[in-house]
Structure formats: C-alpha cells, structure tokens
Amino acid sequence: MAVAQSILSQINSSNYSAPIATVYKPQSEHSGFITTLRLTINLNSINAAVFPYIPDDTPADVLQEILNEVAENTEFKEIIIYFKKGDGAWIERAPIRIFNKDPYYDVNLIRFFSDANTIDVAEDLSIGIQLKVGNVLTAADNILIWGTVVEEKKNNGNEELEARIAALELALFGRLTDLSPNTLLGRNSGTGVVEQIAQATFAQPSDIVTATNALIAGAPPNLNTLDKLAAAMGDDATFAITLAAALGNKVNISGDQVISGIIKFIGTYVGLQSVAPGFWLDETDGTRGAYIVCNGGSLSVQSRGTNFGAFVANLGSVNLTSGAVTLNGGINLTSLPTSTTGLAAGSIWRDGTTLRIV
C-alpha cells in the first residue's frame, strides 16, 4: 500500500556548520518515489542578485551555466547535495549556487537527480544536503528543504507498480493544480515535461489589435492591406525601377535640361488664343512674363495681360500688331533687299544705310 510522506528540514544560523544531514531515506523494507523536492532560499545577509526567469524543468547543466553567469558579479553561497548507499560514504551529486532574491525563491532539486518528474529512491539509498564548508549563515538567513514522497512496502511487483502509478498521479495532479498566478502550462523550447510559463510571454488579443492598428496607422481603406498596396503599384515587383525609369524620361523642372527630338504643345491655352496651344515664361517672382503661342502657323510672343507682341511667320517676315518694340542691342539688316524689284507694297528694303518702305 502506498503512503504519502512529507520531507521537511532546514539549514540556519544554528546548524549550518553541522555534518551532512539526511534529507530523505525510505523506511525499512520500503522504496520511495519523491514527487516534490525543493529549496526555499532566504539569504538576506548578502547583496540581492538579479537573474532571469528559470523554468522548473531546466536541466541541471543549463541551470549551472545560468548561475555561473549571475555569480560573476553577484555574491552567493553554495549548497551541496549527496547520495549514500547503505552505510557507505556520502558521494557528492552536485553543488548548487544560491543567491539572495527578495523576498525569497525556490530551487527545484529534482532536476539534479532525474529528467523525470520524480526521483526513485531504493530502500538502501539516502539523500543528503550540506552548506558548503566555509560558508556562514546569519540570523537573517534560512534555507528550507521540503517536499513530498510516496513510499511503498516492497511486497511484490504489482504493489510496487501501483506505488509508481500513484506517485505519477500525484506529480501530475500537482502539476495541474499547483500553478503560480498568471502562468500557463506549455513548453518554452525543446522537448520534455510540461512547464509553467508566464502568461505575459504570450501575445494577448489586445496586443494583436494594437500592433495591427499601428501597422495600418490611419491608411485609407483602399491602401490598408499589403494586397491593396501591391494592387496600387500594379502588382509590379520592380515598381521602384519602373518608376525611376519613367521619371528619367520626364523634363527636369529645375536646372539646365538637354532635350533631343521634337517638343509638341497640343491643345487650347486658356486666356490666350482660343485655339492656340503654347506656354508662358515668367519672372521668378511670378509677377511678369510672356506668352508664347502658335497662331495660324506663326509664333506669337505676347505680354501677359495684353495682346501685343510679334508674329514670326514661316517666311521669315516680322509683323508688329500693336505697341512698340524695344531692342536693347543692334539689328543686323544686311540681308534686306537693296532694291524694290519684286517687292510687294508695304515691304521694307535697304537703300544704303537707310530703310525704306515700298
């Protein structure tokens, strides 16, 4: 018949220098299955340490690496756990570095004995513990060793099997019911037994909504998903290259620009000639300028807001429709006809250095 037993002892300022103390040994003709074995550490006499969250099922070698890193810059003490078979000598199983973490913390000792959730302890096996020689505890310090064990009298194989099953049931029951606040059961990494994981490790629904809203960030409905953005760019995987090539074919609005080929201005230019396409040239302040339009095959230069200027006809003649022409430089008239022969009435010809009209 399986019987549940408790493990409870402590190391304090009055007994820390004593020889190795037996933590657990099955009673005569019994074997034991330890389901819980922990240290509760309270070391207020040394400086507080800061170390990361360590899951209960962290392998002993990994735990030791973590504690080694913490110990590089933090004060600590050491607990040593032992095995002993029958009346033989104690054999060191593992040293465990312990720290001050306000107000206290627990260390799961099972991981130093087994990868399973229980420790099988034969009838003639003892488990011991001792503060490392040379370490000192004050009245402010206390190390509590506590746990639970299921013992079974070794009558036959069936009863031993039942005891093992009972021990596993207790371990599973404790795993499912003895959860810390705001924790979930699962695995952080790797494989093995289920562990307690802080609920904050997992994303909450509100976290997902917040992250989604931050990603959208007020984008209009037709651009608030990656698919809509792709569609807006014509599903072009090389959109940046395509856009750069298109912009490279446009006239630069600032600086000098060399243009090859023919430039066409097609369409009605409102405010000028009702059917004449063209463009204007402005002063930098936008207050003055001139229109340049095409009118009936001739190029018309007109002052903005007025209707005078010059028409340059296809045949090369100049027709001044109104107003005056101011020339800031000289005019070369050597190409004008030097006689009236063949000229129509109203034409200009050069008589030596004199301009005359037919």
The rounded radius of gyration (Å) of the Cα atoms in the chain is 49
Residue 273 has pLDDT above 50, yes or no: no
Work out the mean pLDDT of the chain and round it to a whole number. 78
Torsion 21-23-26-31 (CA) sign: negative
Q: Do residues 277 and 267 lie in contact, with contact meaning Cβ atoms separated by under 8 Å?
A: yes
143 pLDDT more than 90: yes
pLDDT at 14: 95
Which of the four pLDDT bands, split at 50, 70 and 90, describes residue 71? confident
Determine the pLDDT at residue 208. 87
User: How confident is the model at residue 28, as a pLDDT?
Assistant: 86
Dihedral class, residue 250 (left if φ above 0, else alpha if ψ from -120 to 50, else beta): beta
301 vs 312: CA distance, rounded Å: 9
Angle subtended at Cα 95 by Cα 191 and Cα 18, rounded to the nearest 5 degrees: 140
pLDDT of residue 316: 43
Greater confidence (149 vs 188) lies with: 149
DSSP 23-73: EE-PPTTEEEEEEEEEEEEEETTS-B-------TT--HHHHHHHHHHHHTS
Of 51-55, 59-63, 80-84, 282-286, the one with minimum mean pLDDT is: 282-286
Cα-Cα end-to-end distance for the chain = 142
pLDDT tens track for 91-126: 999 899 899 988 888 989 988 888 888 899 988 999
214-251 pLDDT tens trace: 888 888 888 888 899 899 888 998 999 998 888 877 77
Identify which has the larger pLDDT, 32 or 57: 32
Mean pLDDT, range 71-94, rounded to an integer: 91
Q: Is the pLDDT of residue 62 over 50?
A: yes
Q: How much is the average pLDDT of 77-90? A: 93
For residue 286, the model assigns a pLDDT of 55
